[in-house]
Amino acid sequence: MKIFLNKTIMMILAAVVALGLQACKKDAQAAEKDAVSKTNEVIEETQVKSAAAQSEEVEVVKNADIDPNSKEGQILARLNKVRPDLEFTDIEPSPAPGIYQGVVNGEGIIYVTETADFFFPGDMIQVTDSGLVNVSDDKRREIQSRFNGTRKDMMAEVSRDEMIIFSPKGEVKASIAVFTDVDCGYCQKLHNEVPQLNEMGIEVKYLAYPRAGIGSPSYKKVVSAWCAKDKQDSLTKLKRRESIPENLCADNPVAKQFNLGRKAGVTGTPALVLESGELVPGYMPAPQLAKRLGL
């Protein structure tokens, strides 16, 4: 009887230990998964803060000439207080009495009352004897021209070694930089036309822009292409929806290029940057693109 009880107790203890080990294993796996998730969140948050800090530097330069005690300075201070998530710059009088104009987030034109109690985005239309005139157009062209120069300087700092480049066999007549996501349908469509673009003398320089963010499945795919021995072939396979071996090398430039895209105004893919610094969002057929490039 004692032997039977001892065996029973031993079996119960063994079962308890086994259950405990299994629970510990599950807890460890859950903890590991949570740690990876938190690590990715920290990485992405760091990258976002880095991009935000760089954008803030640009904003400081644009607002450097505004006297804090002036009407423009008071408007700027009030806007920054109520909407710190937005970047307001270039506050100045508009053609309409009592209304000031400014720029939000580097590209959008806004109009604001001199008390900063009301502001609205969009265009201002002036009524003249000869008709209606959009007085926002000049400011919009000024903003675009200024940021094209800034974007051109940003792109000039990217090493060719960090891009995946498809070059013509002969003379390079024009060059475009393309922010791309391997899971983007229009990116895949554009990539199918790269041979045609190369035949026209257009060089295509790819930079990574995984829309889902750092640590996402798309991010891991594009990192694997950048880390591959044959980068062109790997990127082409991904654009054809084929799989490639996962290779997450530590020195890949994907996160840096993703942040560069954000700074450059990229909001979707494909996003083309011309040699002038002009940003062309979306897919454009090869013949139309060649015409845009003057070929």
| Three-state secondary-structure class, residue 100 | strand
Residues 6 or more apart whose Cβ sits within 8 Å of residue 120: 110, 111, 112
Selected catalytic residue, list 90, 151, 183, 184: 184
What are the structure tokens assigned to 21, written together? 């080990």
Q: Is 227 among the residues known to form the active site? A: no
Please tell me the chain's helix, strand, coil percentages from 3-state DSSP, rounded to the nearest 5.
50, 20, 30
What are the structure tokens assigned to 264, written together? 């450059």
Q: Is 181 among the residues known to form the active site? A: yes
130: left (phi over 0), alpha (psi -120 to 50) or beta: alpha
Helix (H) or strand (E) holding 286: helix 286-292
Calculate the CA dihedral of residues 162, 163, 169, 171 and round it to 10 degrees.
-90
Selected catalytic residue, list 181, 183, 227, 262: 181
Selected catalytic residue, list 151, 183, 187, 262: 187
- Give 192-226 as a DSSP string: HTHHHHHHTTEEEEEEE--TT-TTSHHHHHHHHHH
Selected catalytic residue, list 151, 183, 211, 227: 211
Angle between helices 217-227 and 231-239 (to 10 degrees): 150
Indicate the residue type of 288: Q
Q: Is 187 among the residues known to form the active site? A: yes
Helix (H) or strand (E) holding 128: strand 125-128
Q: Is 211 among the residues known to form the active site? A: yes
- Residue 292 has φ and ψ, to the nearest 5°, of -60, -30
| Straight-line distance from the first to the last Cα atom of the chain, in angstroms, rounded to the nearest whole number | 97
Q: Give me the active site residues, please.
A: 181, 184, 187, 211
